[in-house]
Structure 1
Amino acid sequence: MAQTADVVPEFPMPRASGCPFDPPPALQELQKQGPLVKVRLQDGSEPWLVTRYAEQRALLGDARVSADNTMPGYPTKGDGGGGENGEDKFSFIMLDDPEHARQRRMVTAPFAIKRIEALRPTVQKIVDGLIDDMLAGPQPVDLVEAFALPIPSLVICELLGVPYDDHEFFQDNTKTMVHRDATPAERGQAVRAIAEFLSGLLVERRADPRDDLLSSIAGRVTAGEIDHRQATEMALLMLFAGHETTANMIALGTAALFEHPDQLALLRESDDPKLVASAVEELLRYLNITHLGRRRAAVEDIEIAGQVVKAGEGLIFTNEIANRDPEVFADPDRLDITRDARRHVAFSFGVHQCLGQPLARMELQVVYGTLYKRIPTLRLACRPEDVRFKHDAFIYGVHELPVAW
């Protein structure tokens, strides 16, 4: 689709007032215009915005599309975007095959579905324990602080072998890492603090291996497959990806269900694990925490949808509107936990799709299948318009979610 410079819209775009769960209206209008449209970032660059589901999957699965943020044309983070979740070049997530595939294989085993299912009783115990603590404490309580943040912290720390005593240290630093208003110096300091801690743990695991993911990564260094710096980056990615994203999805999903009491009641009153799993997929489709788009660059000319994306041009994939594509999902702006939403692209698509998606799905299934049954009168303890959403962060969600029962 041809555009002239004076009509290229700026990206990112604001959500409509009072519609915090929906994509920005301007994004939905661009989707109607065509599957690929140019947008302008703060630095003046004009990458392609890929608006529709079919073209997103086609391009995300195309080897001519690079995830390497050093490639010419890669959309900069001057607009608050950048890497997959706002990060810099963390390990293999920002590499292309074959090196991406080589490093990714080193950490796939712990995220295999069978291994993740074996963790389900542990996650259930964690969730029940946090609910017990909430029920025994004062009301109202901030669901983010008391419930949503601790769950993925406890789970990923157990998986990695990181002492949970340090969870506040990790939470404070990851908040800085994903805050849009953090300066490069502040963000860099937070990354270095966590990296230095993980680096020390990796040295310990090389000398004294245990049955955890950090020991497995450390063993790759001993075997000469990666160096210590790469191992530290890999551990940092595992910790970051397993912490902030799931925590925001827990709280944001609960806030959305409060806004849709019929869907909340359906989920609360059902004992069918298939409905719980369906609710997780629908909430992943309906909501969107990676709200600044996945960034890529074309390394060769690509012809798609009647348009040529030239080598050296940037691409932004906004899965929030791909997951609302009416060609794929009927009545896409309606939250319906009974629909089959498994085709969504919340975890991306292709070789770079989220490695930790089995863990995220399992955690969300335990949370959504437990919280509203254990506390059937759970409700928002403030006016909906007073909930503060994370428009200022790389990872979308809510800052706090006061609840009572």
Structure 2
Amino acid sequence: MTANPALPSFPFPADHPLGVAADLRRIRDHGAPVRVRLPFGRPAWLVTRYDDVRRVLTAPEFGRDAHRAGVAPHEIPGVTPRDPAADSLLSLDPPDHSRLRRLVSRVFTPRRVEDLRPRAQALADRLVDRLLADGPPADLVEHFALPLPVGVVCDLLGVPAADRELFRGHTETLLSTDPGDPEAAARARTALDDYLAGLVARRAHTPTDDLIGALVRLRDSGDRLSDPELVSLVRTLLIAGHETTANLIPDFLVLLLAGDGYCELVADPERVPSAVEELLRLTPLITMGSFPRFALKDVEIGGVRVRAGEAVIVELSAANRDPGAFAFPETLDLLREENPHLAFGFGVHRCVGAALARVELQVALRTLVRRLPRLALAKHPDDLVWRDSVVRGPRELPVTW
């Protein structure tokens, strides 16, 4: 399909990587969805108001399954040549999505997640011990923000920590928005799936108590879980379990250290849980707003008719700063009480790893404010280099203390 040059190009540039573009605010304040063109695929409707976003995320008239909506893979709108979530739990609709989600919830329980907290805390303290031993300055991405969630998700899934660089490289390629090699993502997906299939095969011969082992037992107990579905579930949990948190930690610190937020947490670490929710609300993590939804029949959103087969992008960062939903939405309020943010999505596709992300983010902030109370950026925020990725985050975060 030939792109329509008359449509505005999305994503819109912002004054700051962690800000919301003026064009997004203007569209949201105007109210009605607008048509935009993305770097790849067909045009899409952009939905920005909080109430409209929630409706798209919950209405049965919208689905994530492109094939069901009659949309070919190359027509899916996005910032990458191929939808990074294709052929995964994130791209399915009920009843297949419901079946797999139920299976995951049977093994990825709140108890299992909470049991990871002390191990996450021990790892966070070891990482800070190394920072203190080596002395400042240090790159907080490489030496804290990345190894913390990677270590936790490896522990959860039973992935050998020695393989961190292997799956980290595949993940970066899969989520990259660099158009240099359009086939690189497909090769990375294949390589990652082959690696994970090997882990699954080993669990079949040598049972384990980790999450992969639990999923293998479900498969072998006749729970209608195929091998491709099992590998896809593990891939989704592996990527979501470290990639988002590894970027949210430095994103949070950029926002906190830009003002008095970090000092407030040093003075009162009990604010950390509410601070995490507020920072989740304010952080525009996904560069394209969300993965696309597709209208399964004609439906009206915000006074605009979306026709069957058309794609919709919901812009979570704009919705999370909607003055119709949040008082003083541009203000970082670490004690905000009413905070129904959409950082983890909403409805049936709400992030399955939300509880794990909260544990990791709370442990990370509590540890830093307790152990490094004088933490400061060693480089001006304007000089940070940001990743070319679906997930927004700085490549490095030089700090001192």
Range class of TM-score, shorter chain: over 0.9
Equivalent residue, structure 1, for 2:316: 319
1:365 aligns with 2:365: no
Aligned mates of 1:341, 1:362 — CA distance in 2: 20
Equivalent residue, structure 2, for 1:387: 384
1:168 aligns with 2:165: yes
Aligned mates of 2:338, 2:19 — CA distance in 1: 17
Equivalent residue, structure 2, for 1:205: 203
Structure 1 counterpart of 2:57, from 55, 60, 65: 60
The one-letter code sitting in structure 2 at the alignment partner of 1:100 is: H
Equivalent residue, structure 1, for 2:111: 114
CA contact (8 A) 2:41 2:76 kept: no
Aligned mates of 1:7, 1:189 — CA distance in 2: 34
Aligned mates of 2:81, 2:211 — CA distance in 1: 27
Equivalent residue, structure 2, for 1:15: 14
Structure 2 counterpart of 1:397, from 382, 393, 397: 393
CA contact (8 A) 1:111 1:359 kept: no
* CA displacement at 1:200 relative to structure 2: 0.7
Q: After the TM superposition, list the runs of 4 or more consecutive aligned residues in structure 1 that deviate by more than 6 angstroms.
A: none
CA pair 271-181 structure 1, distance change in 2 beyond 3 A: closer
* CA displacement at 1:82 relative to structure 2: 7.5
Structure 2 counterparts to residues 210-359 of structure 1, below 5 A: 210-224=208-222, 225-260=224-259, 262-272=260-270, 275-294=271-290, 295-340=292-337, 342-359=339-356
Aligned mates of 1:92, 1:9 — CA distance in 2: 31
Name the SS for the 1:49 alignment partner: strand
* CA displacement at 1:221 relative to structure 2: 2.8
1:188 aligns with 2:183: no
1:95 aligns with 2:92: yes
User: Which shows bigger deviation, 5-14 or 340-349?
Assistant: 5-14
Residue deviations 1:355-375, cap 9 Å, x none? 000000111011111112201
Equivalent residue, structure 1, for 2:102: 105
* CA displacement at 1:237 relative to structure 2: 0.8
User: Which shows bigger deviation, 168-177 or 292-301?
Assistant: 168-177
* CA displacement at 1:105 relative to structure 2: 1.1
CA contact (8 A) 2:42 2:76 kept: no
CA contact (8 A) 1:324 1:333 kept: yes
Q: TM-score scaled by structure 2?
A: 0.93
Consecutive unaligned residues of structure 1, counting only runs of 5 or more, are none
CA contact (8 A) 1:282 1:341 kept: no
CA pair 219-9 structure 1, distance change in 2 beyond 3 A: same
Name the SS for the 1:38 alignment partner: strand
Structure 2 counterpart of 1:375, from 358, 372, 376: 372
Equivalent residue, structure 1, for 2:22: 25
The one-letter code sitting in structure 1 at the alignment partner of 2:164 is: H
Name the SS for the 1:315 alignment partner: strand
Matched positions, count: 393
Aligned mates of 2:94, 2:41 — CA distance in 1: 30
Aligned mates of 2:18, 2:172 — CA distance in 1: 21
Aligned CA-pair RMSD: 1.9
CA contact (8 A) 1:90 1:236 kept: no
User: Which shows bigger deviation, 334-343 or 160-169?
Assistant: 334-343
**Percent of aligned pairs with the same residue?**
39
CA pair 87-45 structure 1, distance change in 2 beyond 3 A: closer
CA contact (8 A) 1:61 1:351 kept: yes
CA contact (8 A) 1:281 1:341 kept: no
Equivalent residue, structure 2, for 1:127: 124
